[in-house]
Amino acid sequence: MFIAIVANPRVKTRNELLRLAQEFRNAEIAATIVIGTLGLDPEEYAELLPNPYFLSGAEDDIRVTKQARKLNALLDGNVVEINNVVVAGVGGIDPHQNMERVLKLIAAGVPSKRIDITLSYHPPRGCGDLIETLKVRRGLDELRTFIEKIRPSLHICGGEYVDTCLINDTKTYVLGKGEAYALIRKDRRSITSRMLPLRRWHNP
């Protein structure tokens, strides 16, 4: 069974959320992770997506994190095991505090297992972060250092466009703005992953 991860869906209506949910119905998906910006409330996602978890985006507000926390599904600054995959999350609302909290959890021995995947709303500097019109990068240097410290098998994030890169030995998938999604599965000790194009579900 897979974990499906999508970034910045920006869903505006329940009908669009239904179309997004249809993307994942034919695959063997045990859980979904939505990296902000959500558009609709986490409770509405929870009605339609299998076993959803949420990572806040910079455009989300405290209401989103409160609802996700109420569902026991907020990944911001948390380390959780989902379908045998250990995941650490860095949200978009307060990424620096999230990174600090995750590092403290690791230092305290939580979890006891190695972190398989790190997730973030912002991209690390140098990966899918170039704003072409301004010729500037919006990726975070601190996030790149964070990934280098943890050394997960895989890092997945949102970004300006779809991209892949390596940070030391960590493969990084940049899912862009609702343009792609990742499928993740852990077989014994190895992580299987692939990034796939996401069909457009928004109304024209």
Fold of the 2-197 domain: Purple Acid Phosphatase; chain A, domain 2 (3.60.21)
pTM for the full model?
Answer: 0.92
Strands 130-131 and 136-137: antiparallel
- Residue 72's pLDDT is what? 96
- Residue 142 above 80 pLDDT? yes
Q: Is 2 in contact with 185 (CB distance < 8 Å)? A: yes
Domains of the chain, residue spans: 2-197
Task: Return the minimum-mean-pLDDT range out of 35-39, 58-62, 151-155, 166-170.
Answer: 58-62
Q: Rounded to whole angstroms, how far apart are CA atoms 106 and 129? A: 27
Give the tens place of pLDDT for each residue, 79-127: 999 999 999 999 999 999 999 999 999 999 987 789 999 999 999 998 9
Q: Which two tokens stand for residue 36?
A: 């902000």
| Nearby residues of 70 by Cβ (< 8 Å), 6 or more positions away | none
Q: Rounded to whole angstroms, how far apart are CA atoms 158 and 180? A: 10
